[in-house]
Each structure stands twice: as C-alpha cells, then as structure tokens.
Structure 1
C-alpha cells in the first residue's frame, strides 16, 4: 500500500489489520483509528479494563491526519482565550489553556511509557513577525520577543520579532499513531482496519463489513466525518498540504537554527507551519488548497502542484535556500462552522474533533475526557469549555463552497496587501 505522507513512508510497507468479518457486540465502538479514537480506547482501557472496546478504521490506523500532519503537539486552540473568556469566563478559559499545555507533556509521557520512539522534542514554538503588520499583531500577544531573540531561535530573513511559547513539541506523527495502535492492541482492544463506518446511531455502528452494537458509540473521524450518513455538514474537510526537503547540510542549519527542534510559523493570515525533523529535513506545510464542492474527499485532492510550488517558494524566501523537495503530500482536516473543537456524550453517542489542524495534543486531551464521560466520572476535564459544545452546521451547497473558497481567496489577498512594497 502506498504511503500517503513522508512520515508514513519512513515506516516502510504497512499491512492493514484484518477487517470486521460480521456483526459484533461491544461495550464501546469507536469509529476512527486516528489519534482521537486510539487515545480514547487507550485511556478507557486504563480506567475500565473490563470494557469490551472495538476500534473501526476505514483504511489503516494513521491513514488520515494522524499520519500526515505537521508533527506539532501544541497547546494551541483555534478559538482565542479572549473569546473563550467572553463566553465561558476567565477561569474556564484559563483551564482550557492549561489542559492543552498539559496534554503536550502527556503525549510525551505516554509515548515514553509505552516505548514509542516518536522523535518527541519539546523545544517550544516560535511565530515570527516579518512585516510591520505582522509585528503589530505579535506585539499584542503573550510571549512576544524582540528581533534578536526571535532570530536566534529561527534564523529566517527579515525577522522583526516573534511570539514564543514553550507549550509545543515536535514529533514524528506516524511513529506516534502506529505505536499507539500497537499499545491499544496490547491492552486486548480489537482494531478492525479496512472497515468503513457508514452510519452511527444510538447503540450501533454500521460498517461495510457488518454492524457493531454497543452501549456507547464514539465518532472520531475528524476530516472524514462528512462521509458519515447525516454528517456531511458537521465538519468541513479542508485540505492542508506539506512538503519535506532532502536532509539539509549543517551549514544551512547553522543559519536556520531550530537547535532544540522548535516548531515555527509566522504571523501571516494564511497558516503555515514547519519543523526540523529528527533526520534534519524541513517538513513544511500550509493551507491554500481549495475546498471541494459537497465536502468531497478524493486521493487526487492531496496533491495541488501550485500549492506545493508556493510552499517551496516560501521556504526559499524565508531562509534563503533552494532546497530539493523529497516528498509532497496532503490531506483533509476537520473544521467546524465556528472553529470550536468539541467533546461530548449524549444518549450513548460520543464525539470529539473539529481541531482545525491543531489536533495532535488536543486529541490526547479529548481521549482522556471521553474516557471520563463514558465511565461517568466527574473530573476537571469534563468541565472544560469544549465539553458538550455543539457547533451549528455548515451551510448547504453551493453556499458552503462559495463561502469557504471566498474566505481562502480573501486571506491570500490580506497577506499580499501586508507585504512591504519595493520603493
């Protein structure tokens, strides 16, 4: 099977586990074998080892965003703390921030405990300001640092300042998700791959291989949620694309820095993200690919040559290098209408997701939260602002297609207008 990302390619050939072979009964059925589904199974097995848990995955564990993302386990949340404070109060907003920061450490702790070598390096993250407009935004943020300090971390061109946060670790996402799947199996949890969940309802998960009846059914499909019956408008599958360079020489790294494998981005509106990999590549990604009518997801959408070219050009502009690109890939992530991720349980149906691309650590927090909700254990996690939140559904087509792509073009235009003009 062809690996859909650099990360998965480094693991070598992947042989999917056997599919479901008929109807089954379980206590908990989890739709989705990515981070959210696997962390949920992992923590449930700790607090309730007698539960019969099954994980249902359409392809193989890590096929989706969990095996394709930028490798940031970060404390980032798509909704600002200011907005959370206005809606939920300062105490709950602060609790959300602290819980996500703690999840960064928990990912590293759990990986080490399970013997998962996922190249985890908690160096923090730097968001650079490289235009006057970006600098104005950066100055308003907590963690602002000046040009010298920012440039010492990440030696990009034209650095005017930046925002540094210690709450981020770079890692190899595919090593993490595949190792986590193995850890889940070691806990006697059954994982059925090549088993696509078509529909969920109270007490059942219908797949193309049979039906699993369970007291609790968990929806953990993230960018692939739109393929589930009745959920086409729940989360929009928005594509993010990445490239990975050939390993760079030490002379380049002396200028670029990232000595502690800090992750990096800048203050532009169209999101970009990068890391120095453990084998000294730049793995770099960004948004900008089109949203496809009807929330369609196709393998061909993973590759948009113009976006790959723009990513390479951005690396050249940022670091003054013309790197050889060894890998190009992409995939869909899940975006709720209000950009607010959520976790919840109602009438035997549980869900988590809508991370808007910041899901590596958030999925760990979601898995622990779902475990408490399913067992019925009140905790600090079950009172966080995202618990029980329900985003309104996306508009029907063609309004959805027009709105998302118009916003994409407007974001690109805003960045263009902020670039300094040559005198």
Structure 2
C-alpha cells in the first residue's frame, strides 16, 4: 500500500491491508467449503454465512434436528462484517428507543434492552456448552470524553438513560481517579463504565460457529453467490436464485446485512456503510503500565466520528472508525482495503489518546461494511405468507444483536409465540434510502459535517458544534 499520508504512520514488518481482517490473519483463512452443487430443496435456506445466518441455523437445528437447513455464502463463512468488526459483544441497542417506543410502548423497549443484555451471557454460554475455541472476556465498556463538548454529550447520555430507568449498576460516571485507573486517556474530561460488554475475537467466533452448525448437520455452501430471493407463489415454494442453481425452501431467510444491496430489488433497503480498523504490533509492558487497560474493557470515545477499540489478547491496540463511509451506488470495496488518509486519521486518534503507543508499528489495516436502515433501527421478521424472512440493520451493534436475531428467527419460523417474537424490532420496517445521487450526497455531506464538528471541538469549542447537530438531523440518527 502506498500514499504520502502513510509516511507519518510507523509500520511494522509484515504490514498488510485489506482482503481479510487481522483477525483472520491470526487464525488463517479457512479452507474452502464446497459450493452448492446444483438446484436443491430444503426446509430452510439461509442466505449469508455471517453471524446472523450461523446463529439462526444453530438455534433452528438445535430446536428441530430433523430440519433440512442450507446456508449459502458467496465468499466464506465470516468473510463480511462478522469477521471484520471490532470484537464488541455489547448490550448497545441496535436502534432508537424513541422510535421503538412510539410503535410498541416503553415497556417493549425495556424488554428489548434486557434481551440484548441477556444475549451477552447467551453467547458465552454457547461458547462453553459447545466447546468453541474462542474466548469471551467480560471487561465491560469504557466510554471516554475528551474536551468540554464530548463531556457534555456524555453527561447528557447518562441523564437520558436515567430517564429510561438505567441505574448506576448499568452505567456510571467515573471519578477522575477511577477513569485514570482504568484506562489513562490523555486530556480525558469524563468517562463512564458499563458492565454490559465483553471482548471477543471476531474470526474465531465465526469459524467456531460454522464448525458447530456443520457438526449439527447443516449444509454450509461457500463460493455461492445469491442474486435474488423470490417469495412463495402459485403453490411454488420460496427460493433463492444463485449462480450455482436454485434453492427452494419453505422459508428463505435474508441474513446479508451490508451486502443486501447486491440482491435484486434491494439496492436501497440498507445503506452499506464502511468502517475501518488498524491494529498495532504487541505493546511492551512498560507501555501498558502507562495506559492501564488491565480489565480488557471495550473502548470508545464521544466524538461525532467516534472511534471504538479493544486491547487484544496478545496486547495490541485495535481501533476503528469511519473512513470513507459510503461509495456511490451502494457499492463496496471487495478487497476491504483502507484508504491511507483513513489509516492516518485513526493513527492520529490512537496516539492523541495514548501517546505512549506512538512508536508502535501498525501491522494490519482493513475495512468492512455494515447495514444501515433509513431510520437506524434494526429488524427481524418472517412473512409466513411469502416464506421470506430477514434480520439485519444492526448499525454497528451486530455482534450481540445477531445472536438475538438467530433466536428470534427460530421462534418465528417455528411459529412459536414467545417473549422474543413480541419484541418491538420484530416486523419493524423502514422506508428505503433515497435514490442516487441523493444517497451519496447525503452520506458524504453528513460525515463532512461530523468531521468538521470534531475539528472545531478538538480546537477548543466548548459546546457541541451546530454542525454535529445538523449531521444528526440530516441522517436521522439518534
């Protein structure tokens, strides 16, 4: 990778960019599974071999071992966001409390929040029960504010959650001594900690889930590109059309998240938003003595173009954020490369927050896409009339939400009325995104506003920039 912007970023030997994430660089890319051999019939066909598809297959097969289930994946299991994310198993709600409450009431929103919390423990329980070769480290979430504007937003967030009934046991402001004792962030003005978060290794979880569902008897086909989902019509079952044949099934589940735009007729359904990450070489003990981070908390800031990160099991810092957020026409970079300016921006944030890490080399950079609905609210559902189901639109909170989606889709497919099927995200729908070029102009404009708002606040603006508030208004993000 070249680019003058990278001349200021120290790179370690073995530097790599794109195609697979650092997580898969650690585990090794899995050997290819066979493609769909031709047209076939199943009880359930799941399109997408990421967390949503794998969890759905797992829970359905556990509930009904006799079900014939196929998972269709264009690349390999975990190739997309499931193997590229920041490793955040958190209870952050994948949607707007206000919007869900408007349709289902306050109690339903609190039930959804509680299920997100419970899903953290559910993932850990499955890891233990199935003997999955991965770890779930429950260090909680440390969210820091740097500067007056970020501090005020963080305090407002805490106050807003108190109005929803969240207590000190859910989220609490840390004293200056407590925040420095957890993670020493330069020029921190405030911080919160929540116990509802755990660090995972994204690729290991994807690899182990794929192994587990195959051991249960699920057929997992890779190298199989799905082009169209068709509903049940005229007595014919629902189907997924692929480049290898057609799979007919009683139920066809869309679990394609950021890649949904590749399906016929779905280009404007979810906006494929790009997120990028960098990871350092392992940091020496002296650096960690200065930074802290001993509890392996998940880490985020409160900028408009916020960053997120983790201290890895082998003592690196992995940090991510928005780079080039969106490509015209809902396209994406199939190689998952990261623009040099994005690498530099992430490096500057990392070293501004953690000056002790300024000499560490960057070993890997990568990007991935997540699916964003127009109202920023995730959804899951099954239409028993058409035989089509779906889950997605997790807006960056999918590591946990996918587990909840898998269990919810299980109950919906099996026509069981449960607490999960009554959650407010079930059958939730949002309008499509605007046609081009409005979609591209809007996405680029919003993040230009956010970047400029952060620049002004970092330069000393003591209140939230009006440009940041305008960005929230245009994007409909809450």
User: Post-superposition shift, 1:85?
Assistant: 3.3
Deviates more, 1:55-64 or 1:321-330: 321-330
Answer yes or no: is 1:190 the counterpart of 2:219: yes
Alignment of 1:53-72 (within 5 A): 53-72=69-88
Counterpart among 39, 42, 53 of residue 26 in structure 1: 42
Answer yes or no: is 1:16 the counterpart of 2:51: no
For 1:343 and 1:80, the matched residues in 2 are separated by 15
Deviates more, 1:279-288 or 1:33-42: 279-288
SS at match of 1:264: strand
Aligned to 1:373: 412
Q: Is the 8 A contact 1:123 1:169 kept in 2?
A: yes
- Which runs of structure 1 show a deviation greater than 4 angstroms over 4 or more consecutive aligned residues? none
Alignment of 1:29-178 (within 5 A): 29-140=45-156, 141=158, 142=161, 143=171, 144-178=173-207
Q: Is the 8 A contact 1:244 1:283 kept in 2?
A: yes
For 1:80 and 1:390, the matched residues in 2 are separated by 13
User: Post-superposition shift, 1:151?
Assistant: 2.2
For 1:247 and 1:206, the matched residues in 2 are separated by 45
For 2:96 and 2:302, the matched residues in 1 are separated by 15
Q: Is the 8 A contact 1:81 1:97 kept in 2?
A: no
For 1:59 and 1:80, the matched residues in 2 are separated by 32
Instruction: Give unpaired runs (5+ residues) of structure 2.
Output: 1-17, 162-170, 232-237, 462-478
TM-score where L is the length of structure 2: 0.86
TM-score where L is the length of structure 1: 0.97
Alignment of 1:137-286 (within 5 A): 137-140=153-156, 141=158, 142=161, 143=171, 144-202=173-231, 203-286=238-321
For 1:50 and 1:168, the matched residues in 2 are separated by 35
Aligned to 2:376: 339
For 2:309 and 2:329, the matched residues in 1 are separated by 30
For 2:353 and 2:52, the matched residues in 1 are separated by 34
SS at match of 1:382: helix
User: Post-superposition shift, 1:17?
Assistant: 0.1
Q: Is the 8 A contact 2:94 2:398 kept in 1?
A: no
Q: Is the 8 A contact 2:411 2:421 kept in 1?
A: yes
SS at match of 2:108: helix
For 2:381 and 2:83, the matched residues in 1 are separated by 24
For 1:208 and 1:273, the matched residues in 2 are separated by 37
User: Post-superposition shift, 1:28?
Assistant: 0.2
Q: Is the 8 A contact 2:304 2:454 kept in 1?
A: yes
Alignment of 1:399-414 (within 5 A): 399-414=438-453
Aligned to 2:324: 289
Deviates more, 1:109-118 or 1:229-238: 109-118
User: Post-superposition shift, 1:357?
Assistant: 1.2
User: Post-superposition shift, 1:300?
Assistant: 4.9
User: Post-superposition shift, 1:13?
Assistant: 3.8
For 1:112 and 1:310, the matched residues in 2 are separated by 38
User: Post-superposition shift, 1:146?
Assistant: 2.7
Answer yes or no: is 1:392 the counterpart of 2:431: yes
Aligned to 1:313: 348
User: Post-superposition shift, 1:3?
Assistant: 5.6
User: Post-superposition shift, 1:83?
Assistant: 4.5
Counterpart among 340, 362, 382 of residue 325 in structure 1: 362
